[in-house]
Amino acid sequence: MNRSTPRPARPDPSQSAADTARALGARRAAASALRHVVERRVAMDDALQRALARGGELDHRDAQLARSITTIALKHLGGLRKALDARLEKGLAATPPELAATLIVGATQILFMAIPAHAAVDCAVELTRADRRLSGLAGVANAVLRRISSEKDALLEDHDPVADLPDWLARRWRETYGEAKLQKIAAALALEPTLDVTPLSEATDWAERLDGALMPTGSIRLRSLAPVETLSGYQEARWFVQDAAAALPAKLLSAQAGERVLDLCAAPGGKTAQLAATGASVIAVDRSSARLKRLKENLNRLHLTAQVVTADAAAWSGESADAILLDAPCASTGTIRRHPDVAWTKSEDDVRSLAALQSRLIDHAIDLLKPGGRLVYSTCSLEPEEGEQQIESLLRRRSDVRLDPIAAGEAPGLADAIDAHGALRTTPDLWPDPQPRLAGLDGFYAARLRRAG
């Protein structure tokens, strides 16, 4: 060999082993988080935090990979289970849960992520082999995932987004919205969620500076995929992250400078910030001190002020208010495109129990309202018990309150989302765009009420 020719670098066994350990660690964390979400109904963020803490040293990139796998697996969980069930001799239900989670993680990468199929298969096989309880099933993992890989095109072509939903939720939405609307909602939930921000002022200018699309409602939809904290205006607190639909309830309240305004169930504080920016005297009430800490941090960052009260909004008493925003605790099914774990951590029992709480909250909120005052009730839920039926029931039992219909001009671009009674109902399939990642809204219900005066 010529002396001027460098010798080929020898592989570093320790580096190779470290890379393999991190690759396996990311997949192991994803499988663990997935099980905690589905089996124990733990929120995805909490499940991932626990899984990553137990997983040893993973760098930021591997932690993000674990998050991506878990998120996408939850978005397509129903369809993934169906595909695996058909390719396991005894079905998915008879498969040890540890192996089932590993197979779901592997299939997620093969079908829905830009990860080489051989890497997804190899990691699943190694994870199975490393678990002494499952080591004898490594061949099963290999065979099933290789079959998923070879049949990928057919699986994706036959993929039905409705199959990704839990049965109870698909049934409810079919009954409430009909089959055609269900299909549209399910397809929207499968897409990458948008990132919207609410500017505190100069919306047109900030849309241009952020290379975003200024929506008719006043929100800015970002095209950039850069980390939020690196974008212009973040450090200066000129805007904050908030889904375009979530920004609507506070706008519909039309708080005015000098008014006394209550924000009940206020945390984490996006709506509080919107209200405080109007110059109103805002009192933010929430029972969670931890969530209120985040609210205070957000207000401080945005240089806004509000009185913050730690209390149960269903029992708190104070001076009556000119206007009240009640964004009530709910099943949050309208946020599944952004938080896919909701589909698997909530149940019909939750919808029923939360609807009972909402009734108590709204009655108490009206009692805190001055005669002639206005109240906006909202939930980020697609369930009628937490929206339309809640208001229908309220109007039947109380004669001192009436609906104050929302006009089309108050929700520009969303006239079709205003129902015959003048309440607002957004669904995830609204706001189409030629670029799928710029389409969609969270599902919200909002109704404005007036107290007799």
Convert the pLDDT of each residue in 348-378 to its tens digit: 999 999 999 999 999 999 999 999 999 999 9
CATH class of 13-159: mainly alpha
* Four-residue CA torsion sign, 87, 90, 93, 98: negative
Q: Which two tokens stand for residue 242?
A: 């908030």
Q: Which two tokens stand for residue 359?
A: 């009734």
Q: Which of 380, 365, 292 is nearest to 329 (CA)?
A: 380
Q: How far apart, in whole angstroms, are the C-alpha atoms of residue 276 and residue 260?
A: 11
Q: How far apart, in whole angstroms, are the C-alpha atoms of residue 29 and residue 58?
A: 10
- Residue ranges matching CATH 3.40.50.150 in the chain: 196-451
Tens of pLDDT, residues 212-234: 999 999 999 999 889 999 999 99
Q: What DSSP string describes 267-313?
A: TT-HHHHHHHTTT-EEEEEES-HHHHHHHHHHHHHHT---EEEES-T
Residues with a known catalytic role = 380
Q: Which of 242, 262, 243 is nearest to 302 (CA)?
A: 242
- 13 contacts 40 by C-beta, under 8 angstroms: no
Q: How far apart, in whole angstroms, are the C-alpha atoms of residue 16 and residue 341?
A: 34
What does DSSP assign to residue 239?
A: E
Which residues does 127 contact at the CB level (< 8 Å), separation at least 6? 24, 27, 28, 31, 102
At 93 the three-state DSSP class reads coil
β-strands 260-264, 321-327 pairing:
parallel
- Residue ranges matching CATH 1.10.940.10 in the chain: 13-159
CATH class of 196-451: alpha beta
Residues of the chain with pLDDT under 70: 1-17, 55-56
* Long-range pairs for 74-77: beta carbons < 8 A, 24 or more residues apart: 74/34, 74/37, 74/44, 74/340, 74/341, 74/343, 74/344, 75/112, 75/164, 75/189, 75/190, 75/340, 76/108, 76/111, 76/112, 76/164, 76/190, 77/38, 77/104, 77/164, 77/340, 77/343, 77/344
pLDDT at 17: 67
pLDDT at 9: 38
Please return the burial class of 59, using the count of CB atoms within 10 Å of its CB with bins 0-12, 13-18 and 19+. exposed
